[in-house]
Chains A and B, each alone.
Chain A
């Protein structure tokens, strides 16, 4: 009945599960992704969920990608349509030649299907109802049953799924056996009643290697543990809550004194974001490594304290897991939209250090490094993740740590140094790098104390409203920010195979889609040098990159091209040479989108693709 040839693909397709929020499908869907990983095939899953506890539509998308493309691809090859509410949209979203998997217990009118797709009906409700009497069991095992059916349809090895179930329900034999039973109910039904496999198949491979599968928020939280954070204050907000929750879990595992059982950390759920950052600043002022995790609205609330951190020069680490704004925006959708808000947070002249990890591995590394930077620079460091990295599992290189590493506690004057006669002026620039020495409270009976304040003061922390004194301080703060350029992670540059006048700048969660887009553009004959920004302030290599290219595309996930604005603002470059490529509908940016946008622009400015020129 299909008038389009079914898609045939091994280890390269997209399956999307359409479910109802709260139906218990998340566990089965994630197991599906993990099972493919166990086949040695890379996957890139994404949660697409509403700002709602129960009842609204939710999707889970698994990109199966032998080539290891971890960005969102766009399009759906097989839709597992389990939500009647979104049926029409789900069916419409299937690629021509794709597959529709649905619960065929109740007959559906033919108008509800498409002619150019393969429809696969499994009477899931009938199977579950005939097997289970308990309503909750029926709901949960229905998910495992469709997982079983899919394993047959996609030619997956059921033993690998059984292995995962075994790990998940280790020690809970009854749950383990009942889940395995449900898996085989679905699998057996599919094998007996359907043409298995379909054109989409999973074949064992060896492309995963030693990579790990982890969420960015969990990795960042572990980075905080390794980075020596002992105080965490936070206030629940999607999509950052799981950072603090993961930090709590990691600390329980790694941070209890084995003899006394006491905690080598303190975690406080603040009454709001203001209190959370206040606690962080108080703890950091007193010499502990402290952080908070939040999202856009939390940043808005924290900005007064962020200004204090900047001006009074108190270390702080803020992990900002960005979501779509402004205001409440779309709380469960991803964006990179807080760049400007964080770079210049608070009133007056302020500049803040931003770190842009590309994946969980960098989230771990940068989170740990953020505490060194915060103490070295005595200022707020923003770790800029987003929902796409933070709340989705990503395949990434294993996390690494150098046991020889010692924490950089920055310029802290001790009682011994004070006794040696060292001149202590809290805001003295003794080394010319703009970074002054500080003392911790309680250091010395008669030397080194000072009054911290958000009001203007001289180099010895004495209150002063003298214009020259204020200006002197502000200039030193600029010097410090310049010092930061060489301390933060440098941009990574990769050049096109052939010399080109065109470049692209991108950052963070855009990276996997950008890497894939480069391949698509090269196939169209477009050569682009690329620069992945990893931090603000921008290293001098950013200016060099801009100078070396006629046009530079800046790819980002917000409406106003905020990184581009920042680059223009900080480098004094002609904005015309920076071409914004923006994606901001709340879904993760895709390689297809980037390749089309840049390709179209190249066509528009009449760039002759090299491929054509050669031919």
Chain B
């Protein structure tokens, strides 16, 4: 009898704990400000590091999650039934973390990152379209070229917040030493060179200083590969044809890769390109070991800020476009928010509402100045504080949709750099490598198009 009582008591205790634990979950009832019972919702927000602080990295305790924590605090004041947890994910762990989350069906409710990095999740059918939270005012405030970057099949999957144009940067002091003043643009403007100019500049830089690698080239992995893909557009190649297939192996693409390889062979680029990552090359640029480097607005501002704080020895750093045939090649990373389709309508609605809140709030959208604001209204407001803003805005007509939002882009990126390595190690000719990439890449696009939920 005693034993039976013990068993009964244990079972009761277990059931009570399970029920209590269940009550602590996501479906708790809370009273709202109006006194009406509303289901409490806890939302998970993930982001990769973008900028420190709410509006500025000089704020006290500024960190990568400061902005979203502040946005959550302000949102929760108006919506007491919603709580937002913010988690910063290292960029290199994005794919792993999301892959595990997809497989275990434990996706967060929202993610903030560059749209191209998340486009494959739209194809997987796990992103909720956001068209229903985009009002007419926002539509007019953000340029068409930005909207094109965040839409697939006319549906908007990414709510744009800021953007981050990719260009080249150069050490103007080295240019002056080499007598290359005529190739320099005034400070706060973006220089435009032809491919021939780039070669002349690099040769002159090398003649002046043998210790410096004129052009920072890299091909170790998919880091910074948007620049490598853009370099192949130097002689007019479009990378993708009108059907979304890869056509980089045509005459213009091959010419561009041969041009880069010749620069390498002539000692005008960094040594050991095939094992250098973009991080390595960026560090070399800061250490004055290269003269011309890849950059984007966040990297550029970061180096400027490090120069001001004494972390990097100051030098005159300026911007240039990637050379193009008829017009310069420029691209931009649109940092934006996505909402994952968790299947729970209440959670999706709350997540969309939170995204809309911080993407439209008059005060919070000012944080987009940490990169470049996508909103004309914010850009106008900060025009005087952001000396490069006009140059970037004028350059917007050169912006391409570099990923074409193609299905399987992540896989495509990983098929690309081994072919570059094959050329830079002399294993394949430019034509052979690009043929092989086009064949392999088109197979990847075909397979992923078949799998794409939103294209079928």
A binds B: no
Binding site for A on B (CB under 8 A): none
Residues of A within 8 A of B (CB): none
